[in-house]
Amino acid sequence: MTSENHIIETKDVHLYYGKKEALKGVSLDFLPNEITALIGPSGCGKSTYLRTLNRMNDLIPDVTVTGNVTFENKDIYSPKMDTVELRKKIGMVFQQPNPFPFSIFENVAYGLRIAGMKDKAKIAEIVEASLKKAAVWEDVKDKLSKSALALSGGQQQRVCIARVLAVEPAIILLDEPTSALDPVSSGKIERMLLELKEEYTMIIVTHNMQQASRISDKTAFFLDGHLIEHGETRQIFTNPHKKETEDYISGRFG
Amino acid sequence: MEDSQKKLAEHSGKSRLEKIGKTISFLCIAFIVFVVLSILYFVASKGIATFTKDGVSLIDFLTGKIWNPGSIGENGKPLTGALPMIAGSFIVTLLAAAVATPFAIGAAIFMTEISPTVGKKILQPVIELLVGIPSVVYGFIGLSVVVPFMRNTFGGSGFGIISAAIVLFVMILPTVTSMSVDTLKSVPRYYREASLALGATRWQTIYKVVLRSATPGLLTAVVFGMARAFGEALAVQMVIGNAALMPTNLITPASTLTSILTMNMGNTVMGTLENNVLWSLALILLVMALFFNILTRWIGKKGAMN
């Protein structure tokens, strides 16, 4: 595991909301084309950690980040970093499906338009391809001009994923993408994520142990701002090295 | 057992209290509805009397260009053309809204998106203060500052539509701004996050997501400002010159529905044509208020559907 292979490396990341320390020195690396699940109880810092990777925490006032986060060997917290470019490379799917109050087509085309793409045929082509990849094309192909808000929660979330795919990121961060959805919709999204693994690196925060064990290659367990354990998903779930991990995944926790 | 059955069957103290509360609140709302309906009926019956009792035709009233209700025109009918005032009201309102809208939205963007702390600590209180200033003060400032400025710049008396529009612009600016701020604040944070996470710049996010999804609310704010401008009487009356003439340019005296109303209502006798025709003007104002009200509701409904 040489460092050239890692697409994202984080070293001793601390994050403070004002004076409160939310991340207490997290070091974790990610390999390309793998799905890593971040698990842990609420408030353990896993979502916060996820948001340091595309600098979404910048939006919150009074946040300080120390430590080292590199994406493709570039320090993303360096003053020279262009966050706009960074976020095109590292897409994000949120917990609540959050389509814009536009048509389905415009939602997916949004990232292309803000990037300055004008060619209508090309935009339509990418929108279709993205919706297909996100396994929602069949549901929406006849109503692309309808408002995305009229779709069901699961469809909305898949449109949101298509919206991210259209920008062609290298990495997709998913912050509990199925926690607001019913099991059938969740299943569809899980299958889709497994298919997307060929092309993308994914990091997914989840509260659902089964989900983590079904779809992820690696699992990282967070507790109280610390990274407790990180390794192959199979090993974490069958043979955890740390007692806290075992307690948490077997439900004996808090 | 029988005891508890009996207890359940009879009215408890609490259910009686519920009933009393319901009755009181119903009486209150019934009173308000009664007052509103009475006013509507009063204004309408008086306003319509011009046409039914005094035989003025509605067309002449709405399109006539000469306003002099005391005199008889060549066709033997009283000169009750309200078009100069109607036009004056609309021009003043539209001008004020057209100038106020960009300023208000710009200020609202600054206060919500660019610098929320300065917005909250300094601008918000300032705007609330401006909303609370009585209109006579705005009129007085207009009279002592705007009118002389116009006189020195364009010549003439300085009274006119442009002076009224400027005073109204300043008057409605805080209202439109604070409503726009509320609208922008109510745009969910996750729209902004989604946009930024897709690699949009802050400006792209404001322009393409925040303003776009806030459009119905912003339109409502502007319409609300227009309603206020349309109905404002005192401040306008002080600076517009109150000549019931068809406005031909922006710097000569003109008049609005409200300014003619406030000027003349004390000088007419109840029941005469001169008096009734003023009520007709009031009826137009009422209908316009209703129109603005329906318009904001319609915008709100349309916005909710997307």
Judged by CB atoms closer than 8 Å, whether chains meet at B201 and A114 is answered as yes
Answer whether residue A1 shows pLDDT above 50.
no
Using a CB-CB cut-off of 8 Å, the residues of chain A touching B190 are 94, 96, 98
Q: Cα separation of B163 and B86, whole Å?
A: 17
Q: Which residue has the tokens 């001169």?
A: B274
Chain B residue closest in CA terms to A151: B306
- Determine the structural domain holding residue B186 and report its residue range: 83-305
Judged by CB atoms closer than 8 Å, whether chains meet at A167 and B197 is answered as no
Query: Which of B192, B199, B212 is opposite residue A167, by nearest beta carbon?
Result: B199
The average pLDDT across A220-237 equals 92
Answer whether residue A176 shows pLDDT above 80.
yes
In a domain, B93, yes or no: yes
**CATH label of the domain that carries residue B185:** 1.10.3720.10
Q: How many CB pairs under 8 A join A and B?
A: 68
Q: Cα separation of B100 and B9, whole Å?
A: 63
Total structural domains within chain B: 1
Q: Cα separation of B141 and B171, whole Å?
A: 11
Residue B72 or A65, more confident: A65
Instruction: List the domain boundaries for chain A.
Output: 8-98+170-249
* pLDDT at B306 (0 to 100): 53
Residues of chain B with pLDDT > 70: what percent?
Answer: 98
Structural contact between residues A110 and A126, judged by C-beta atoms closer than 8 angstroms: no
In a domain, B23, yes or no: no
A153-166 and A120-133 helices cross at what angle (nearest 10)?
A: 130
Interface residues from chain B to A (CB-CB < 8 Å): 188, 190-201, 204, 208-209, 212-213, 306
Tell me how far CA of residue A156 lies from CA of A32, A80, A135, A171, B218, in angstroms. 27, 35, 12, 20, 26
| Predicted confidence band of residue B183 (pLDDT cuts 50, 70, 90) | very high
| Predicted confidence band of residue B304 (pLDDT cuts 50, 70, 90) | low
In a domain, B62, yes or no: no
Query: Which of B193, B195, B306 is opposite residue A147, by nearest beta carbon?
Result: B306
Instruction: Please write the tens of the pLDDT for every residue from B77-104.
Output: 888 889 999 999 999 999 999 999 999 9
Enter the CATH code of domain A8-98+170-249.
Answer: 3.40.50.300
Instruction: Please write the tens of the pLDDT for every residue from A133-167.
Output: 998 999 999 999 999 999 999 999 999 999 999 99
Using a CB-CB cut-off of 8 Å, the residues of chain A touching B194 are 94, 98-100, 160, 163
Q: Cα separation of B127 and B121, whole Å?
A: 11
Span of A127-136, B42-51, B295-304 with lowest mean pLDDT: B295-304
Judged by CB atoms closer than 8 Å, whether chains meet at B213 and A84 is answered as no
